[in-house]
């Protein structure tokens, strides 16, 4: 079982906290079922610094090489959240014969930025940095050292939006009503939320064997808000892979 965490998050840091939350709290439970592997991507934690902007397919190639070096053999079940979902998707697309299942946890969509910009008001010269980052994707500083090329990533996925018949479970955050706690303007929130749900439904079509579950209350970090939902999805696919080796 391989976990791909969200963008800019060092799992070494998260796992060092005295009070385990999110993936750190889930990992021991997953480990009671199967071997679980977590790692810090290039640019995160004590991993090498990113020397160039990267894409999900670069991450997939790095992970594949790392698994070979560590002699962690397939088949693999992968779970990826947010940006990590795109990375896990790319791995399953490129190394289909080695993947037994994929869980996408409120995953980013490869065409997400372009689609979001299509429903937002025209760009303003004086937009705050948080709004510019939402339009264009977070910059390297905001991603904790990861250096991601969202435009090239979208291009690389253009003809790679399938994982064939690999069993897939898509977990989606509950529809979020507008909130004053959200840094985005209310107008943006009202435009983005239905699009987010639409993009999640599209992700559920990348496999001919898929299941789509919308959380009852969880926000973007389902592994934190409704961890049992994530654990159940992983357990389902691990057991399924053992029953159909």
Q: Is residue 73 predicted with pLDDT exceeding 90?
A: yes
Average pLDDT score over residue span 161-182: 96
The model's confidence at residue 141, banded by pLDDT at 50, 70 and 90, is confident
Identify the helix (H) or strand (E) that includes residue 104: strand 99-105
> Does pLDDT of 245 surpass 80?
no
Angle at 206 between CA 54 and CA 219, to 5 degrees: 75
Note the pTM of the prediction, 2 decimals: 0.96
Q: Kindly list the structural domains of the chain, giving each domain's residue range(s) and its CATH number in brackets, ordered by start.
A: 2-239 (3.40.50.1820)
- As a whole number, the mean pLDDT across the chain is 95
Handedness of CA 32, 60, 75, 226 (dihedral sign): positive
* Each residue's pLDDT tens digit, 36-49: 999 999 999 999 99
Query: Tokens representing 98?
Result: 């080695």
Three-class secondary structure assignment of 58-76 = HHHHHHHHHHHHCCCCCCE
Give the ranges where 95-185 is alpha helix by DSSP (H). Answer: 112-119, 129-136, 150-157
């Amino acid at each position: 079982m391989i976990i791909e965490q969200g963008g800019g998050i060092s799992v070494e840091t998260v796992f060092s906290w005295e009070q385990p939350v999110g993936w750190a709290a889930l990992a021991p439970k997953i480990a009671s079922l199967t071997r679980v592997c977590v790692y810090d991507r290039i640019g995160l934690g004590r991993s090498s610094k990113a020397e160039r902007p990267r894409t999900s397919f670069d991450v997939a190639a790095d992970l594949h090489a790392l698994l070979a070096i560590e002699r962690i053999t397939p088949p693999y079940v992968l779970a990826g959240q947010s940006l990590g979902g795109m990375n896990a998707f790319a791995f399953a697309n490129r190394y289909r014969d080695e993947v037994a299942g994929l869980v996408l946890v409120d995953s980013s969509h490869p065409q997400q930025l372009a689609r979001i910009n299509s429903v937002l008001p025209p760009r303003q010269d004086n937009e705050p940095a948080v709004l510019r980052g939402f339009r264009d994707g977070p910059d390297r500083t905001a991603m904790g050292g990861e250096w991601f090329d969202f435009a090239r990533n979208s291009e690389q996925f253009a003809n790679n939006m399938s994982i064939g018949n690999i069993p897939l479970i898509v977990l989606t955050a509950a529809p979020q009503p507008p909130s004053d706690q959200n840094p985005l303007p209310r107008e943006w929130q009202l435009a983005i939320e239905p699009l987010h749900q639409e993009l999640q439904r599209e992700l559920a079509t990348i496999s001919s064997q898929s299941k789509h579950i919308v959380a009852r209350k969880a926000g973007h970090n389902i592994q934190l808000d409704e961890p049992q939902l994530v654990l159940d999805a992983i357990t389902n696919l691990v057991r399924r892979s053992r029953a159909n080796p």
